[in-house]
Structure 1
Amino acid sequence: MSNLEIVLKEEDVYSGNVKGMIPHGRGTYKWKNGTVYEGCWEEGKMAGDGRITWSSGASYEGNFYGGYLHGFGTLTNPDGSTYIGSWRLNIQHGFGRKQYSNSDVYDGSWREGVHEGSGKYTWCNGDMYMGSWKGGLMCGRGVMKWLNGDLFDGNWSKGYRHGTGVYRFVDGNYYFGTWTNGLKDGLGMFYPAISIRSSSSGRLGKKKASKPHSIVRSISIKKPIKGLFRDMGRISNKKISVGVSSMESSAFNSTELLSHNLDEGESVDDYNSSNVVWEREYIQGVLVKERTKNNAKVLSKKEQQRIFLMEEMKRKSTLDIFESRKSNYMMLNLQLGIRYTVGKITPLTMREVRYSDFGEQARIRIYFPRKGSQSTPPHNSVDFYWKDYSFMVFRNLRELFKLDAADYMMSICGDDGLIELSSPGKSGSLFYRSHDDRFVIKTLRKSELKVLLKMLPSYYNHVQAHDNTMITKFYGIHEITPRGGKKVQFVVMGNMFYTDLRIHRHYDLKGSYYGRNTNTYNIIEATTLKDLDLTYKFHMDKSLRDALFKQINLDCMFLESQQIIDYSLLLGLHFRAPEHLKSMLEPPDAYAFNRPQNTTDDGAIFRVDRTIQPTGLLLVTHEPDSVNTAPGPHSRGSTLKAFSVGDKEVDVLLPGTGRLRVQLGVNMPAQANHKVSHDISGSTEVELFEVYDVVLYLGIIDILQEYNTRKKIEHAYKSVLHDPMSISVAPPKFYSNRFFKFLEKVFPSNN
Structure 2
Amino acid sequence: MEDNGRFDEKSFSNGDVYMGMIKGILPHEKGKYTWSDGTVYEGDWEGEKMTGKGLVVWSTGAQYEGEICGGYLHGYGTLTTSAGCSYRGGWKMNAQHGIGLKKYSNSDMYEGLWKEGVLEGSGRYTWKNGNIYVGNWKNGTIHGRGIMKWVNGDTFDGFWSNGLMHGSGVYNFGDGGLYIGTWNKGLKDGKGVFYPAGSKKPSLRILHSPHDSDDNGFLLNIQKHEAPKARVKRSLSANIAVISRFKSFRQISHRTSSLKINLIRNDDSAQDCVCHDSSLSLSNDFDEDQSEASVRSTLVYEREYAQGVLIMERISECSESSRNKKQQNKFSVKKVNKSSCLDIFQGRRSYYLKLNLQLGIRYTVGKITPVPAREVRSSDFGDRARIRMYFPRAGSKLTPPHCSINFYWKDYCPMVFRNLREMFKLDAADYMMSICGDSGLRDLSSPGKSGSIFYLSKDDRFVIKTVNKSELKVLLRMLPKYYRHVGDHENTLITKFFGLHRITLRGGKKQVRFVVMGNVFCTELQIHRRYDLKGSSQGRYTDNDKINCNTTLKDLDLKYEFHMDKKLRESLLKQISLDCKFLESQHIIDYSLLLGLHFRAPENMKAFVEHHESMQNLPSGDEEEHLILPKGLVLVSHEPSIVNTEPGPHIRGNTLRAYSMGDSEVDLLLPGTARLRVQLGVNMPAQATRKIEEDKVAKEVELFEVYDVVLYMGIIDILQSYNLKKKVEHSYKSLQFDPLTVSVIEPKMYDERFLKFLEEKVFPETP
TM-score tier, shorter chain, comes to 0.5 to 0.7
1:166-315 alignment, distance < 5 Å: 177-178=181-182, 188-189=192-193, 211-212=198-199, 230-231=261-262, 272=297, 276-278=299-301, 296-298=315-317, 307-313=326-332
TM-score, reference length from structure 2: 0.59
Q: 1:526 to 1:591 in 2, by over 3 A?
A: farther
Question: Is the 2:261–2:275 contact (alpha carbons within 8 Å) kept by the matching residues of 1?
Answer: no
Whole-Å separation in 1 of the counterparts to 2:659 and 2:183:
42
Select the structure of larger CA radius of gyration: 2
Deviations 1:80-125 (A, max 9, x none): xxxxxxxxxxxxxxxxxxxxxxxxxxxxxxxxxxxxxxxxxxxxxx
Partner of 1:645: 661
Q: 1:584 to 1:476 in 2, by over 3 A?
A: farther
Q: SS at 2:456's partner residue?
A: strand
Whole-Å separation in 2 of the counterparts to 1:271 and 1:722:
43
Q: 1:279 to 1:508 in 2, by over 3 A?
A: closer
The answer as to 2:390 corresponding to 1:367 is yes
Specify which of 704, 721, 732 is matched with residue 717 of structure 1.
Answer: 732
Q: How far is 1:434 from its partner?
A: 1.2
Corresponding letter in the other structure for 2:630? Q
Q: How far is 1:482 from its partner?
A: 2.9
Partner of 1:427: 450
Specify which of 553, 574, 585 is matched with residue 598 of structure 2.
Answer: 574
1:81-480 alignment, distance < 5 Å: 177-178=181-182, 188-189=192-193, 211-212=198-199, 230-231=261-262, 272=297, 276-278=299-301, 296-298=315-317, 307-313=326-332, 325-480=348-503
Deviations 1:552-600 (A, max 9, x none): 00111111111111111111111211899999999xx999999999xxx
Partner of 2:529: 505
Q: SS at 1:481's partner residue?
A: strand
Q: 1:650 to 1:355 in 2, by over 3 A?
A: same
Whole-Å separation in 2 of the counterparts to 1:728 and 1:421:
25
Specify which of 622, 643, 649 is matched with residue 627 of structure 1.
Answer: 643
Q: 1:613 to 1:186 in 2, by over 3 A?
A: closer
Question: Is the 2:199–2:299 contact (alpha carbons within 8 Å) kept by the matching residues of 1?
Answer: no
Partner of 2:41: none
Question: Is the 1:164–1:524 contact (alpha carbons within 8 Å) kept by the matching residues of 2?
Answer: no
Partner of 1:614: 631
The answer as to 2:713 corresponding to 1:698 is yes
Whole-Å separation in 2 of the counterparts to 1:311 and 1:585:
37
Whole-Å separation in 2 of the counterparts to 1:555 and 1:281:
34
Whole-Å separation in 1 of the counterparts to 2:332 and 2:169:
16
Question: Is the 1:358–1:393 contact (alpha carbons within 8 Å) kept by the matching residues of 2?
Answer: yes
Whole-Å separation in 1 of the counterparts to 2:605 and 2:543:
20
Whole-Å separation in 2 of the counterparts to 1:359 and 1:579:
56
Q: 1:276 to 1:536 in 2, by over 3 A?
A: same
1:667-686 alignment, distance < 5 Å: 667-675=683-691
Of residues 642-651 and 399-408 in structure 1, the stretch that sits farther from structure 2 once superposed is 399-408
Whole-Å separation in 1 of the counterparts to 2:309 and 2:678:
38
Question: Is the 1:641–1:648 contact (alpha carbons within 8 Å) kept by the matching residues of 2?
Answer: yes
Whole-Å separation in 1 of the counterparts to 2:190 and 2:486:
42
Corresponding letter in the other structure for 2:199? P
Partner of 1:734: 749
Q: How far is 1:316 from its partner?
A: 9.3
Q: Which runs of 5+ in 2 are unaligned?
A: 1-157, 172-177, 207-237, 242-256, 265-270, 337-341
Q: How far is 1:738 from its partner?
A: 1.1
Q: How far is 1:231 from its partner?
A: 4.8
Question: Is the 1:472–1:634 contact (alpha carbons within 8 Å) kept by the matching residues of 2?
Answer: no
Whole-Å separation in 2 of the counterparts to 1:218 and 1:240:
15
Question: Is the 2:491–2:575 contact (alpha carbons within 8 Å) kept by the matching residues of 1?
Answer: yes
Partner of 2:142: none
Corresponding letter in the other structure for 2:728? I
Partner of 2:518: 494
Deviations 1:383-440 (A, max 9, x none): 2111100111111111222211121112111221111112222111111111111111
Deviations 1:615-643 (A, max 9, x none): 5x311111010114756333211111111
Question: Is the 2:190–2:528 contact (alpha carbons within 8 Å) kept by the matching residues of 1?
Answer: no
Corresponding letter in the other structure for 1:621? S
Question: Is the 2:562–2:689 contact (alpha carbons within 8 Å) kept by the matching residues of 1?
Answer: yes
Q: How far is 1:655 from its partner?
A: 1.6
Whole-Å separation in 2 of the counterparts to 1:664 and 1:191:
41
Whole-Å separation in 2 of the counterparts to 1:282 and 1:544:
27
Corresponding letter in the other structure for 2:390? Y
Q: How far is 1:359 from its partner?
A: 4.0
Q: SS at 1:503's partner residue?
A: coil
Whole-Å separation in 1 of the counterparts to 2:435 and 2:272:
29
Q: 1:622 to 1:718 in 2, by over 3 A?
A: same
Q: SS at 2:641's partner residue?
A: helix
Partner of 1:528: 552
Corresponding letter in the other structure for 1:369? P
- Percent identity, aligned pairs only, is 59
Q: How far is 1:444 from its partner?
A: 1.0
Deviations 1:257-292 (A, max 9, x none): 9999x99x999x9954xx743568999xxxx999x9
Q: SS at 1:420's partner residue?
A: strand
Q: How far is 1:188 from its partner?
A: 3.4
Q: SS at 1:626's partner residue?
A: coil
Q: SS at 1:277's partner residue?
A: strand
Question: Is the 2:560–2:689 contact (alpha carbons within 8 Å) kept by the matching residues of 1?
Answer: yes
Whole-Å separation in 2 of the counterparts to 1:178 and 1:407:
30
TM-score, reference length from structure 1: 0.60
Corresponding letter in the other structure for 2:725? R
Q: How far is 1:610 from its partner?
A: 5.9
Q: Which runs of 5+ in 1 are unaligned?
A: 1-154, 168-173, 193-209, 243-253, 598-607
Question: Is the 2:637–2:665 contact (alpha carbons within 8 Å) kept by the matching residues of 1?
Answer: yes
Corresponding letter in the other structure for 1:731? E
Q: 1:351 to 1:629 in 2, by over 3 A?
A: farther
Corresponding letter in the other structure for 1:624? P
Whole-Å separation in 2 of the counterparts to 1:735 and 1:333:
38
Deviations 1:168-208 (A, max 9, x none): xxxxxx98644899x9998633689xxxxxxxxxxxxxxxx
Question: Is the 1:536–1:675 contact (alpha carbons within 8 Å) kept by the matching residues of 2?
Answer: yes
Question: Is the 1:259–1:309 contact (alpha carbons within 8 Å) kept by the matching residues of 2?
Answer: no
Question: Is the 1:567–1:701 contact (alpha carbons within 8 Å) kept by the matching residues of 2?
Answer: yes
Question: Is the 1:518–1:533 contact (alpha carbons within 8 Å) kept by the matching residues of 2?
Answer: yes
Whole-Å separation in 2 of the counterparts to 1:579 and 1:518:
33
Q: SS at 1:625's partner residue?
A: coil
